[in-house]
A and B are shown apart, each in its own frame.
Chain A
């Protein structure tokens, strides 16, 4: 009797596997992962021989099985039975990180008290490339343009030593890079300001300098960077209390998506922002320069705070090759150019209060020449603002270097 039951059970299980394969795809589960489902690959002699068809087909099956949402939820449950997570210890998981370039790096994520934090791995060889890129940018700038470098640390750097020490020191990385910069580049100490602000912040306070489950800083965090930059430029920072603090949409953040299966349904975070925009009169224009040198302007009516976008994209609607923001209330012609990653996006709402023009250049998508842009805008100052993890991406440093050529 046993042989009948076992055989029938196994055959039924195989039939069920076939059934989930032919069942309609669970598109909602893919959307929840913020990506598109893999499509059935094209069948041709070429794709067959290269193995592209096989790997494409495997991804297609994985993404398009029926009940995918329930199955992945069950998978997460199974995983949670393998051990426990003491509140004080938190959890370290391995993940990957990319910053919108071709490179993807292995990275650790620390999950602690409802926060997800990237763990930093110092890469001295790439730091050298980063500093060289900045020095090359300096060498193509006219002498009268003041240049600043701001490297922004992330939140794990300010956690208690037992947590912080599980990663490489971001402070050391920033110090090492600053020491390699040419004398005519001024290092901006965002680190010191953030550290002081973090230390004076009550431990259980909800609003922080960084988002809980995103790798970016908040507008409060960016204010520290802004103060540090203003200190070096000799200008007075605006008082953040002059602006109304408003509550934006709920959001989770990009790191949440990576750590989701290791977290127990956390509450979404609220995005708070200081409404600089309604106090002023700003004009935005975006621009892309193509490989052949031709240009296209777009986004003329874009807002600084884009409430149609999720999460950190709220600031400027995300990254663009060039964004030019004019403050119509300032008429002194003062211009700052910023070469940056997305960290600068939350800094911009502060900077626009001190400059008539703020011009942002994103090396990941900007294909033009920095020299031409410098000629066009004649900036008084140029700042390179990046988060410290960019110094571990070799290709980002190359892109940074390329714009100086």
Chain B
């Protein structure tokens, strides 16, 4: 199920909130959350529900084992088993076809390529489970002995399929006891509506413009290629950050505090800064569970950096273009760290160059087919196409204000204005309610009339 669907907004969310608040104690509340999360997951992916339950149950038991033998060699062994199990699981379900195809290509072999569908959200929930077993081993968190609570953590529907990647330690206390204060509920509902609006008004319409410009139904031109990839740049950001906002907002409505995942990444002045602001929970995961254990900044930092970025790329999808995309950032970060630290001090110019790097990066990210990728980069420099055509001009005019809105909403300015007007004495609160209602009704209307409404990060 997706958040930005009428089924979710008109049926699922009201029903879950009602049942949740009718439940009198934490056990019932957790049960409501776990069951509704499993229904939420099964809605889109019924056949892989069993994998989610089984993977979480096995890790749940292994973590108890790790805890039991804490400080002894058995604990390390069980951790090894757990990590191997998780990596093999994601390896089979996400990377088996990719690895076989790559092997066939390198060794000119002809192993049959397995046809396994990608289980929804596997990259997200596997990482959450992994962080949990490692944290138990490191004694960074206590062990959970109730499977109900553990499955509630793993499957919690707000963040189950597209993050943020929540670590067990961040919700450990809330699983035992949580009081939702009215402030939390109000803030959560506001963040939810804002996230929904980002997704429905900005991401979806940017997606439509991008589909027209980069799709096969119209002619490729240099102008269309640039404009298309710029719309994709905004689609990705508002899609994913909108989703995260909705997740964090719902979390607060249910009494959880999930970590923020985005912090205006498109105002960054360097690639380093961009990755401190984009998908922060993923960068955090790789920093704490891969980069630092490899030696971090102390030992072989350049090697560590490249390993982390190749893995970051691969996490996004089982295709070589993602590995290239990851390494592209790895190399850029390396160069930046060594030679260009001063560049970020130049305002505007550094913003522009950073965005150029990011937009080109999304080009690598978008095309999973190498030939298409090559052709696309040709188009960017005008090779084999016209500079622009009527489609380019039409798309620019028809989405001119959308583009302006996207640029604006990528900066903290609208939020500052919002906070200012909603804090005006007496009228501010009414304005806030009116804005919220207008956004929500607009979203319901846009979803009713929508033709296309995919979530991009679902496939990762």
Count of B residues near A, CB < 8 Å?
64
Are B391 and A17 interface neighbours, CB within 8 A?
A: no
Q: In the complex, what's the smallest C-beta–C-beta distance from A3 to chain B, in angstroms?
A: 4
CA distance A16 to B447 in the complex (A): 15
Are A119 and B217 interface neighbours, CB within 8 A?
A: yes
The answer to whether B208 has its CB under 8 Å from any CB of chain A is yes
The answer to whether B342 has its CB under 8 Å from any CB of chain A is no
Q: Given contacts A21-B11, A58-B5, are A83 and B398 in contact (CB under 8 A)? A: yes
Q: Given contacts A108-B391, A162-B390, are A92 and B212 in contact (CB under 8 A)? A: yes
Q: Mark B391-403, 1 if CB is under 8 A from A, else 0.
A: 1011111111110
The answer to whether A184 has its CB under 8 Å from any CB of chain B is no
Are B7 and A166 interface neighbours, CB within 8 A?
A: no
Looking at chain A's contact residues, is the secondary structure mostly helix, strand, loop, or mixed? helix
Chain A residues with CB under 8 Å of B42's CB are 48, 54
B442 interface neighbour in A57, A78, A93, A167, Cβ under 8 Å: A78
The total of interchain contacts (Cβ-Cβ below 8 angstroms) comes to 188
Q: Mark B434-446, 1 if CB is under 8 A from A, else 0.
A: 0011001110111
B218 interface neighbour in A6, A82, A166, Cβ under 8 Å: A166
Q: In the complex, what's the smallest C-beta–C-beta distance from B21 to chain A, in angstroms?
A: 10
Are A17 and B182 interface neighbours, CB within 8 A?
A: no
Q: Mark A120-158, 1 if CB is under 8 A from B, else 0.
A: 010000000000000000000000000000000000000
The answer to whether B389 has its CB under 8 Å from any CB of chain A is yes
Closest to B49 in A: A49
Chain A residues with CB under 8 Å of B190's CB are 6, 10
Are B401 and A62 interface neighbours, CB within 8 A?
A: no
CA distance A305 to B392 in the complex (A): 42
The answer to whether B77 has its CB under 8 Å from any CB of chain A is no
Are A94 and B215 interface neighbours, CB within 8 A?
A: yes
Are A92 and B436 interface neighbours, CB within 8 A?
A: no
Are B444 and A4 interface neighbours, CB within 8 A?
A: no
Interface residues of A in 216-252 (CB under 8 A from B): none
Q: In the complex, what's the smallest C-beta–C-beta distance from A5 to chain B, in angstroms?
A: 5
Are A82 and B399 interface neighbours, CB within 8 A?
A: yes
Are A165 and B389 interface neighbours, CB within 8 A?
A: yes
Looking at chain B's contact residues, is the secondary structure mostly helix, strand, loop, or mixed? helix
The answer to whether A18 has its CB under 8 Å from any CB of chain B is yes
The answer to whether A1 has its CB under 8 Å from any CB of chain B is yes
CA distance A78 to B447 in the complex (A): 11
Are B394 and A75 interface neighbours, CB within 8 A?
A: no
Are B400 and A61 interface neighbours, CB within 8 A?
A: no
Apart from A3-B183, A75-B445, what are 14 other A-B pairs with CB-CB below 8 Å? A2-B186, A17-B6, A51-B44, A58-B7, A62-B448, A82-B399, A85-B397, A92-B391, A93-B212, A107-B217, A110-B390, A119-B217, A121-B216, A165-B390
Chain B residues at the A interface, C-beta cutoff of 8 Å: 1, 5-7, 9-11, 13-14, 17, 42-47, 182-183, 185-186, 189-190, 192-193, 201, 205, 208, 211-212, 215-219, 389-391, 393-402, 428-430, 432-433, 436-437, 440-442, 444-450
9 A-B pairs with least C-beta separation: A75-B449, A10-B189, A74-B445, A21-B10, A6-B186, A82-B402, A71-B448, A72-B449, A3-B186
